[in-house]
Amino acid sequence: MAVKMEQMYEGKAKKVFATDDPGLCIVSYKDDATAFDGKKKGTIADKGEINNRVTNHLMKLLSEQGIPTHFVEELSARETLVKRVTIVPLEVIVRNIAAGSLSKRLGLPEGTKMGATVLEFCYKDDALGDPMVNEYHIAAMGWASAEELETIAAYAFKINEALSLYLKEVNIELIDFKLEFGRLSDGTLVLADEISPDTCRFWDSKTREKLDKDRFRRDMDDIEGAYREILKRLIGQ
């Protein structure tokens, strides 16, 4: 059993602790919520526990389908043991339906069906507002090798297939989502970070009600209820 040691990092939604095993970390999910590059701040009751449990549930599902992930073991309602990785400094965004920044950028009404799945990369840098970049920027800056980027893209499409199909069964439409990948000490790429209502757009398939962080971003009511509804549909509690 890994022993929790010093805090290595505190982000907007999670803290990361070292353990006595150099290959493992403990992630602790917070109730803090931010949006618009940290300009909007708040808390969402029980968000940390919900995101921890939803993420682990989906990570397990994906690893059963052949996607390598950083997940090791859920330790408590908020805490999970994960493999230690160096994060690739890219947000990998997969879009099935137009929404959010894509709708704004291209003038497509939210909910517009597109002809194919869209993959986008953003450079992870809060001070710069996570600017969108393409594979040429990524190669030029050395953020990932061409081979790594190919693997990341293949994983992202496979994850999209698996999650979309799974969520459809519980009447959730996967509109878009963000992934992050990391490298283990031997260079192996694994899926890292979280997959939760903070990082995905989930719409009820029938009513198209938003069941994700857009409720917080857009000052809508019953944010907690939406997060709880996702947990209930996925895990049944």
| Sign of the alpha-carbon dihedral angle for 101, 112, 221, 46 | negative
CB of 20 to ligand UDP, least distance (A): 31
CB of 5 to ligand UDP, least distance (A): 28
Q: From CA 57, how far away is CA 51, in angstroms rounded? A: 10
Residues between 157 and 176 with contacts to ligand UDP, criterion CB under 6 A: 176
CA distances 175 to 112, 149, 184, 188, Å, are 10, 23, 30, 29
* CB of 102 or CB of 167, closer to ligand UDP: 102
Q: Which 200-219 residues touch ligand UDP, going by CB under 6 A?
A: 200-201, 213
Using the rule CB under 6 A, give the single segment among 9-17, 98-106, 107-115, 166-174 that binds ligand UDP.
98-106
| Whole-angstrom distance, CA of residue 103 vs CA of residue 94 | 14
CA atoms within a 13 Å half-sphere pointing along the CA-CB vector of 212: 24
Q: Is 178 in the site for ligand UDP (CB under 6 A)?
A: yes
CA dist., res. 89 & res. 62, Å (int): 22
> How do beta strands 40-43 and 32-35 pair?
antiparallel
Largest alpha-carbon pair distance within the chain?
Answer: 52
Q: Please, what is the minimum distance in Å from the beta carbon of residue 207 to ligand UDP?
A: 19
Q: Does the protein bind ligand UDP through residue 181 (CB under 6 A)? A: no
# residues near ligand UDP by CB under 6 A? 14
Least CB distance to ligand UDP at residue 159 (A): 13
Q: Is 93 in the site for ligand UDP (CB under 6 A)?
A: yes
Q: Does 102 bind ligand UDP (CB under 6 A)?
A: yes
Instruction: List alpha helices for the chain, DSSP H.
Output: 47-64, 100-106, 135-141, 146-168, 214-217, 223-235
Q: Which stretch binds ligand UDP (CB under 6 A): 69-77, 157-165, 195-203, 225-233?
A: 195-203
Q: By beta-carbon distance, which residue lies closest to ligand UDP?
A: 100
Residues that bind ligand UDP (CB under 6 A): 91, 93, 99-102, 130, 176-178, 199-201, 213
